[in-house]
Amino acid sequence: MKGLPDTLDNHVGLFFVVHNELLLHSCTLNDAEKYGDFLNYPFSHEKVWLSHYKNKHRVDFDYFPRGRIVYNRVKQQSILYYDGCIKSEAKKIQSLFPSKTCIIARDEHYQCHKCCEGYVI
């Protein structure tokens, strides 16, 4: 998969998988937004898509598979939520946390046009 960094230790972020390319936006835990016990990337998928990809791909932000990486400060572990279409890609992203715990979890919130019944293009 194109677009993989060397590591995501101490990062949170969000990502899209577009034509087998990872479009990753991340920040360090120090720059993350606090949300209860969690640290989160400060921008939404929609905002990132509109700013960087909408003009190129000409579809809405939820058309392609996507996911998010958050950090649980209490458990000191990262959680990678992903669209069901990209389980193998999620496992590859998970491997970028070599010195920290990162679990992956399917999340119904992240559904691309293939996964979402009634998706209107």
Q: 79 lies in a domain?
A: yes
Domain containing 87 equals 11-106
pTM for this prediction = 0.90
Q: 112 lies in a domain?
A: no
* SS3 state at 49: helix
At residue 109, the pLDDT reads 85
Q: 116 lies in a domain?
A: no
Q: Which two tokens stand for residue 114?
A: 């293939």
Q: Residue 97 — very low, low, confident or very high, per pLDDT cuts 50/70/90?
A: very high
1 pLDDT above the threshold of 70? no
Q: Give the CA count within 13 Å in the CB-facing half-sphere of 34.
A: 5
